[in-house]
Every structure is written in C-alpha cells, then in structure tokens.
A and B are shown apart, each in its own frame.
Chain A
C-alpha cells in the first residue's frame, strides 16, 4: 500500500525539482495525447519547445517570446502576492481589459496632441483601471464577506462586455469607416509603446515586468510586508496575532495585482495589439495563474515560468499552423502543465511510503 506521509520539514530538493519534473511529465502525457491525435509526438514537442528558439524562424520568434512573456510575468507577479496571502484574485483578465480601456481612453481623448507626458499619464490610468476593477471584489469581500474568487471571475465577463461597448461605441475610430475597434496607437507616437530594441520584442511592458519582479523579490525576502503576506497565507490566526489586519491585506493584494494586470493591458493595447478591439484580450489573465504557480509564487521563478509559458504559446501556434494540430490540443497541453505541477507539488511537503511488511511479520495478525 502506498501512503503519503507528512515531512517534518518541507523538502528543499522538491521545491526546486517540482517545476522541472512537471514539465517533463507534461511532455510525456502531452506526447501521448499528440500520438493519439495521429501526430508524431517527438516532432510536435520539438516544434513547441525547440523550433521557436533555435529553428528556422527563431530570429523572429525569439522576439515574440518577450512580447508574450511580458504581460504574463507582470500579471503573475501581482497574483502571486495575493496567492501567498490566501487571497484568490482569479479575475486578472478583467482587470487587464479595464486597464487597457482606461489607459487607451486617456490617450485617445487627447488625440492627436503630441506631448511627452501623455504616455506616462496613460500608464497611470491603465494601472488605475485595473486597480479599480480589483477593488470591487476586494471591498465586497471586506465589507460583506463575499467570495473574491467568484466575484473577480464574474467581473471578467462584465469587463468583456464593456470592452465590446468600447470597441463598437465610445472608443471606436471615427475615421474607421464604421469598422469596430479604436484608432491604432502605432500611428500616434505620443501614446505608442514600440519595441525598445528592434527585434528583441522588449517593450516597456517587459521592462516593467522585470523591474517589478526584482522589487517584489526584495519585498518578499526582506520587507515586513512580505513577511506579513506569507504569514497571512500560511497561518491566518498567527497573522492576526502578529498584528496583521486581514481586511487591509485583502485591499492591498487585490489592488496591487489589479494594478499590475491593468498595466499589462495598457502596454499590450499601446504596443503589440495596437488598438482596442472586441477580441483584444487573449487569455493572459488566466494563463498568468498557471505562470504564478509554475514559478512557485516566487518573482524570479515567475520570470522563468513566464518565458516557458510564452514558449508553449508560440510553439503551440507553430504546431497548429505547421502540423495541423487543433488549438484545443495546445490548450490542453498547457493545462496539463498546471495539473502535473499541482500534483507533484505534494512532494515538497509529503513523501511516499510503501507500507513496510516488517510490521506485519512481527505483528499478531
């Protein structure tokens, strides 16, 4: 019989090994899935993990890596703070949309003025939009004890409706001959977020993501607030005894994760996406949840996890176009990653024990 036995101390080895083992197991299980779909599993896996980095089109795809990883990292880092404190913001996708709409609205309101202050103000507006959207579940939770998971998730669908309204109505390009979608920021230099180094894929969003990762790493390791966040997640009663006010922490963590998601939306709409459109959101807010856990809720781990997840996005798209793989299969592949990660995560706190037969031999019966 196999039993799980709690370790006296969390295993250092498994904390590091978990993501690696999870990736390997995902490759195996995903390979099986691809094989049953009639594809050569080795070829698919190579297309997903190898070709974007070292294949024929790597010169272009490597740049795409940072484009996709930037928003994932930015959102995931914000989420990880709340997740550590046991505050579950599942609605980053909605905060991402609202950040993009708020930021874009500020920029478009002053079109076509050229001023160096426009983009910074848009950044603030984007962060505000995400923050405000996250405050709704936060305040409902602290005031009325509602469940932040449900409220934040439901608000994603509200945000999507507002996005449609914006694209079709109040932000629609007046010169767009009636087509949905806002003006394109690439033709409005004061409000645009172009690549900083050509071909690198790095725009201001990526820069913000890396800076935020560094700052929050320090916050978690060295600052009392980081200690309080960890404490609140691990032992809520001990946190209150220490002096943490849970309501304040909810507002802080929800607000920060919302603001970072809003920033990611703003950088996306002004950069790679270029405009507010009905289908502007691409699921970054949800994928970031996987990234946060894949990175073990550690800011530096999240940077690596964001890059890895971006790789599966790009590689998955390649596999879909080049090998005719259904896109649902790629999503299932990404889902497997989270599944295996959470399953193997048990190993850091528990170990497997085969029930010894020695006891039975000694025993009465």
Chain B
C-alpha cells in the first residue's frame, strides 16, 4: 500500500524552523493519507518534536506551507488545530493527580458535557477501543499506561482525523504496547490517520504503513517499514554503519563474597510522591552485569540514591565485598571503589553552571587523589577532566566550559566516563543512554561491557529493554519499589519479561493474578 492510493489528509511542504544556534527543521516535506499510520523516525534532537508541534499549532514555522485536505493549513494555536481535527498525545502527560478520570478529560475539552454523560461516553469509547478505564478513578492511583489511556480517550472524544502520538510506548510494558497497537490499528481501519513518533524500530515495523526519517532536522529518506530491516532503518536514522557492542571473554574471579550484595533493603523515598523501596535483595559478582528494568517511577531513582549513599540505610543492607556500607555516604563508598552515575545529568550528576573541571572534581576527588590536606589540586583535576574528554570523545571547546553548554549526549559521555575512568569495582548506572544518539549510545554500551570484562560488578537501571537484554547477564524488574528475583537473561522471553514487569494493567491483569 502506498501513500498515493489513499486520499491525502495532510501535506507538509518545505517547512523550516530555526532556534537560536540550531536549525530544528530544514525544508521538511512529507504527506499523510487518510487512515494511514505514518512514522516519524529519528534520533533525539532530529527535529521530530518541533515538526509535530508545528502541525499541532504550538510552534509557528519560519517558512514553508501545510495543506489539510487540499486547503491551506496554518494553525495559530492548538485550539485551531483541534478544530481542524488534529489531536495529540504528549510524551509527558498533563493530568491532575488529585482529580478523577472524567474530570481530567473534561478539563481538556472545549465544551464538556455534564459529568454523568461524559462518564458514560468515556466508558463507551474505552470499551469500543479496548482501553478499559473507570471514569471515577483518581488519576493519582493509575499506572503510567492507564494515564496514557486517559490522554488517548480525551483525544478520541474529539473525533480526530489525525492523531499525533509522541513516543507513546516509552512508559508501557510489552503487554500494554500490544493493547495500544490494537487500538491504533482499529482507529486507522476506521479512517483516522496516525502520526507516530518513535525511535523504536521494531514497533514501527509492526505498526506503521510508511515512515519519514529525519536526521539533524532534514528528511533523509522515507520507506515502507515492513520492507526494511530494523538495522537498515537505524543506519538511515544515524547516517552511519553501526557495529553492535562486543563482550570480552568472561573469567571466574574466584571471589567468595559477591562484589555487591543488597539484603532486604528498605528505604523511604525522599521525593514527594516518590516510591519507597521495599525489601530489595540481589547480589552481583565481579564481571557480571545486572540489568534492572521497570517503568519510570517504580523506585529507580530511589534505588540509585540508596546505592550511591545519598539515602543511607541500616549498615548491613548494602555490602561491598562483604563489608557493610549501608550507613555510609557517597564519599566513603567512592573510596572503596563503588561509583554511581545518576540518570539526571544536569543538576544531579553534574552541576550545570560549573565547568567540566569542577564537575570532574565532583566525583573524582576521592579516587583520583585530587585533594591535598583539604586543598583542591586544580592542575591534577584539569588533567583528569582532559583525560575524560579525550578517552570518551566528549565534544567540547575545552575543559573550562560549563556543563550546561554541552549537548545531552556529550554530557552523558562525560558523566559516564568520569565514573568508569576511576577504575571502580562496583558501578551503578541509571539510564546509561537516555537521550543519547545511537553512535554515542553504542560507545557507552561498549565502555560498560569493557569494564565488566575488566572485573567490575555492574548494575544498569534502564527503561530500554533492548539495551538491558543486550548488556545484562541477569535481569530483574523494579515494580512499585519491589525488585523481582534476578533471572539469567539467556532463555528469557519478552512475554516473561512483560509479566515480571507487572503485566498489562486492566485487560490482562487477570492473567497473572
């Protein structure tokens, strides 16, 4: 099936949008037919989000035109776009946790009907599209997948002609993804066009009729996803040939105690609406990688804080090589070779307004011996910063640059490199490649594997299942602050992983109760 067999719905021609210092979109053209599921494919920063924001009326293009069913289309605000029949589900939800589902839906509508009628309508639409949802439930009690359903149903009630979905599966378990895809296919069959933004290639292959691939703001190709392999599309997206990371030979280190052991760890979350950790136990030996999966907000941040020493626990709950360190702070833990790379680069892993030299000192001070009697050895710190920049190919004009001036991927390379260069024994990395382009991600994964080969015990916390399956020896899932017992990755099926993640909420919940 090709585009021109369908009646044209939206045509985008020569759209350009520049922000100071960056061209987000340059001469972008593509078309969506009625009832077509069209993928916008590209890495982070390729310009996908800017493009759909222009279609949704949130951003005005600098130049270029759009036509909607043959007529000129230039929405000045989202309301105008909605009036034409465009609806959008954002990656980050805009819901009020203290209100129920129906009230949240009403808040997003132009002319909401009465609450009773609306609740009935929500029930009707949600059953019609296989998205079970109780209109009376508080949004605060819903899972991420259920929250997304609220957003989708809010859109469906407007009877859209074009539904834009921005990275919809990043918060879903595999089973929830299946439910979502069934709904989207049903919508497309009924004539609703879908513009689907993602960088997950297998999903696009199974769902989308056609794809437009963006790289650095430009259209670099279009294809029928079913006819291409994921590898081919990835290389189009990245513009380079990708080599998968390689694992060095495994050794038996002959330790009698695991490098890191966590025993019945309980910790209250320091974050408002955070998830407290409940009875978490696992062990990692030298040379092993434990992958911890889970939908964001299930205790990943808290687990990282408890491992780095930012939250302390009873001493015996965290053991490194048999030594109790649960009550020790970050500096003590680094001293014995236990390093952590937090997920949030800017503000947590690095101080945004400080230079790379100061940020190198931030965690390097202890293990790199950068202080003498409390005084900072700045020349040695500069040398350490330069070493990180060189070894991990951090693109920066120099070590004096503030951390916030670096792109996300470059700062991530700096932050991970800073920890890996300290010849650590135990490494915890939260979201190693989040928001990083494919080439940099490959380099980071290779660096992690190399450290494992060199004998470090590594814990990778990630929401990217493919990444975890590629890297890990053992696999566990964090769900509502509890950790499933780790299982070897070999022989683990995607369905089993889905069930470990708590399965789908709603329709499939019965399956594993």
Residue ranges of A at the interface with B (Cβ–Cβ < 8 Å): 5, 8-10, 222-225, 227, 230-231, 234-235, 237-243, 245, 353, 359, 362-365
Please state if A364 and B350 are interface contacts (CB–CB under 8 Å).
Answer: no
Cα of A343 to Cα of B472 in the assembled complex, Å: 52
7 more A-B contacts (CB under 8 A) besides A227-B358, A235-B353? Answer: A9-B401, A222-B375, A234-B353, A240-B310, A242-B331, A242-B362, A363-B62
Which residues of B sit under 8 angstroms from A235, Cβ to Cβ? 347-348, 350-354
Shortest CB distance B385–A (Å): 14
Interface pair B74/A238, CB less than 8 Å apart: no
Taking a contact as CB atoms under 8 Å apart, the answer to whether B349 and A364 are in contact is: no
Asked whether A224 and B376 contact (CB < 8 A) given A234-B353, A243-B331, the answer is yes
Q: How far is the CA of A241 from the CA of B348 in the complex (A)?
A: 7
Which residue in B64, B330, B375, B404 is a CB contact (below 8 Å) of A242? B330
Residues from chain A with a CB closer than 8 A to the CB of B334 are 243
Q: Mark B361-399, 1 if CB is under 8 A from A, else 0.
A: 111010000010011101000000000000000000000
Q: Does residue B60 face the partner (Cβ distance < 8 Å to A)? A: yes
- B353: chain A residues within 8 A (beta carbon): 10, 234-235
The docked-state distance in angstroms from the alpha carbon of A241 to that of B310 is 6
**Chain B nearest Cβ from A11, distance in angstroms:** 12
| CB closest residue in chain A, given B400 | A9
Interface residues of B in 288-344 (CB under 8 A from A): 308-310, 329-331, 334, 340, 342, 344
Closest A residue to B354 by beta carbon equals A234
- Chain A binding surface, main DSSP class: helix
CA distance A227 to B331 in the complex (A): 15
What are the residues of chain A within 8 A of B354 when measuring CB–CB? 230-231, 234-235
Identify which of B64, B330, B347, B375 contacts A224 (C-beta below 8 A).
B375
Candidate in A8, A223, A238 with the most chain B CB atoms within 10 angstroms: A238
State whether B363 touches A242 (Cβ < 8 A).
Answer: yes
Candidates B63, B348, B405; contact of A237 at CB < 8 Å: B348
**CB of B254 within 8 Å of the partner chain:** no
Partner of B330, one of A10, A241, A364: A241
B135 part of interface (Cβ distance < 8 Å): no
Other-chain residue from A10, A241, A359, A364 in contact with B64 (beta carbon distance below 8 A): A364
Inter-chain residue pair count (beta carbon < 8 A): 91
The listed residue (A9, A225, A240) touching B405 by CB distance below 8 A is: A9
A362 pairs with B63, CB closer than 8 A: yes
Inter-chain contact A241/B65, CB cutoff 8 Å: no
22 CB-based A-B contacts, threshold 8 Å: A8-B21, A8-B402, A9-B401, A9-B405, A231-B362, A235-B348, A237-B344, A237-B347, A237-B348, A238-B348, A241-B308, A241-B363, A243-B309, A243-B334, A359-B62, A363-B61, A364-B60, A364-B61, A364-B63, A364-B64, A365-B60, A365-B74
Which residues of chain B are within 8 angstroms of A230 by Cβ–Cβ distance? Answer: 354
Contacts of B21 in A (CB 8 A): 8
- Whether, in the assembled complex, B114 has its beta carbon less than 8 Å from a beta carbon of chain A, the answer is no
| CB within 8 Å for A245 and B329 given contacts A238-B362, A240-B310 | yes
The reply to whether the CB of B20 lies closer than 8 angstroms to some CB of chain A is yes
| Top 4 A-B residue pairs of the complex, sorted by shortest distance between their CB atoms | A243-B331, A235-B351, A243-B330, A8-B405
B65 neighbours in A (Cβ, 8 Å): 364
A9 to B342 Cα, complex, angstroms:
24
Chain B: minimal CB distance from A71 (Å) = 29
Q: Specify the chain B residue showing the minimal Cβ separation from A237.
A: B348
A10 to B354, CA, bound (A): 10
A223 and B375 contact, Cβ closer than 8 Å, known pairs A237-B344, A242-B362: yes
Cα of A243 to Cα of B354 in the assembled complex, Å: 17
For A363, list chain B residues within 8 Å (CB). Answer: 60-63
A10 and B309 form a contact (CB under 8 A): no
| Bound Cα distance A237, B271 (Å) | 12
CA distance A243 to B362 in the complex (A): 9
Q: Smallest CB-CB separation from B18: which chain A residue? A: A359
- Closest chain-A Cβ to B500's Cβ sits at a distance in Å of 29
Please determine whether A238 and B349 come into contact, CB atoms closer than 8 angstroms.
Answer: yes
Most-contacted residue by chain A among B344, B376, B405 (CB, 10 A):
B376
> Which of B62, B64, B340: most chain A CB closer than 10 A?
B62
Query: Closest CB of chain B to A4's CB: distance in Å?
Result: 12
- Note all chain B residues with C-beta closer than 8 A to A5: 20
* CA distance in complex: A245, B378 (Å): 23
Which residue in chain A gives the minimum CB-CB distance to B72?
A: A364
**What CA separation (Å) do A223 and B401 show in the bound complex?**
21
Q: B261 CB to closest chain A CB, in angstroms?
A: 22
Contact between A225 and B374, CB atoms less than 8 A apart: yes
* Contact A224–B371 (Cβ < 8 Å): yes
Chain B minimum-CB-distance residue to A242: B362
State the CA gap A237–B18 with chains docked (Å). Answer: 33
B351 touches which one: A225, A234, A243 (CB < 8 A)? A234
Shortest distance from the beta carbon of A98 to any chain B beta carbon, whole Å: 30
Query: Is B402 in contact with A231, judged by CB distance below 8 angstroms?
Result: no
B residues within 8 A CB of A353? 20
Q: Chain A residues near B365 (CB, 8 Å)?
A: 224, 242
Q: How far is the CA of A230 from the CA of B375 in the complex (A)?
A: 15
- Would you call B60 and A241 a contact (CB within 8 A)? no
Question: A325: shortest Cβ distance to chain B, in Å?
Answer: 41
B402 contacts A9, CB within 8 Å?
yes
Chain A's closest residue to B355 (CB) is: A9
Quick check: A241 and B62 within 8 Å, CB to CB? no
Whether the pair A224, B374 counts as a contact (CB closer than 8 A) is yes
- Contact partners of B362 in chain A: CB under 8 A: 231, 238, 241-242
Which residues of B in the span 115-154 have a Cβ within 8 Å of any Cβ on A? none
> Would you give the shortest CB distance from A355 to chain B, in whole angstroms?
11
Specify which chain A residues have a CB less than 8 angstroms from the CB of B20 in the assembled complex. Answer: 5, 353
Residues of chain A with a CB closer than 8 A to B60's CB: 363-365
Q: Are A10 and B402 in contact (CB under 8 A)?
A: yes
Q: Which residues of A contact B330 (CB under 8 A)?
A: 240-243
In the bound complex, residues from chain B placing their C-beta under 8 Å from that of A365 are: 60, 74
Per the bound structure, the CA–CA distance linking A235 and B363 in Å amounts to 14
Are the CB atoms of A234 and B63 closer together than 8 Å?
no
Q: How far is the CB of B296 from chain A (nearest CB, A)?
A: 17
Point out the residues of chain A lying under 8 angstroms from B62, CB to CB: 359, 362-363
CA distance A363 to B63 in the complex (A): 4
Nearest-neighbour CB distance to chain A for B310, whole angstroms, equals: 5
> Given A8-B402, A9-B405, A364-B74, do A227 and B361 touch, yes or no (CB 8 Å)?
yes
Bound Cα distance from A363 to B15, whole angstroms: 10
CB neighbours of B63 from chain A (8 A)? 362-364
- With both chains docked as a complex, state the minimum distance between the C-beta of B220 and any C-beta of chain A, in angstroms: 23
